[in-house]
Copies of this chain bind each other. A is one copy, B any other.
Amino acid sequence: MRVREIIERHPRSIYVDREVLVRCAEECFECSATCTACADACLGEPDGAELVRAIRLSDDCADVCDATGRAVTRQTEPDRGLIRAAIETCIISCRACAEECDRHAAHHDHCRVCAEVCRSCEQACNDLLALL
């Protein structure tokens, strides 16, 4: 994503390894979009009743990932405690959504993709958290 190019040109010094930070921001935005799409794909399935929990957790994960992605993207005067807490919440949200989507992966390929993206975002968040 091109958000990387903005962060590379930011006037303030980045408070942590830039590559790890950029990857976390990108994964959060990616995961927010993917969870929005998967919640909607689940809603459109004929067996939607089976997918109620997947829809709910994808809705939460889309919102949490978007807020976390925005907070991680900003480099001006960050509050480290807030960034850390936001990332921890994002990890919990991605894990919950991945676990539920995995349960439906055999029947719904969009749930398999969503679970993969959630786990990738969880990993990128863990990598950044380790540096904070």
Which residues of A line the B interface, CB within 8 A? 1-3, 5-7, 9-12, 25-26, 29-30, 32-34, 36-41, 43-46, 48-49, 52-53, 55-57, 59-60, 62-64, 66-67, 69-71, 73-79, 81-82, 85-86, 88-89, 92-93, 96, 108-110, 113-114, 116-117
Question: Beyond A82-B92, A89-B89, is A3–B37 a contact (Cβ under 8 Å)?
Answer: yes
Question: Beyond A71-B60, A109-B9, A110-B9, is A55–B36 a contact (Cβ under 8 Å)?
Answer: no
Contacting pair B69 A66 (CB below 8 A): no
A61 to chain B, nearest CB (A): 8
Q: Report how many copies the assembly holds.
A: 4
- A113 touches which of B9, B40, B55, B76 (Cβ 8 Å): B9
Which one of A81, A85, A114 has the greatest number of beta carbons of chain B within 10 Å? A85
Instruction: Give the dominant DSSP class at A's interface.
Output: helix
Task: Note all chain B residues with C-beta closer than 8 A to A55.
Answer: 43
Task: Note all chain B residues with C-beta closer than 8 A to A92.
Answer: 79, 81-82, 85
Task: Note all chain B residues with C-beta closer than 8 A to A49.
Answer: 48-49
Contacting pair A73 B2 (CB below 8 A): no
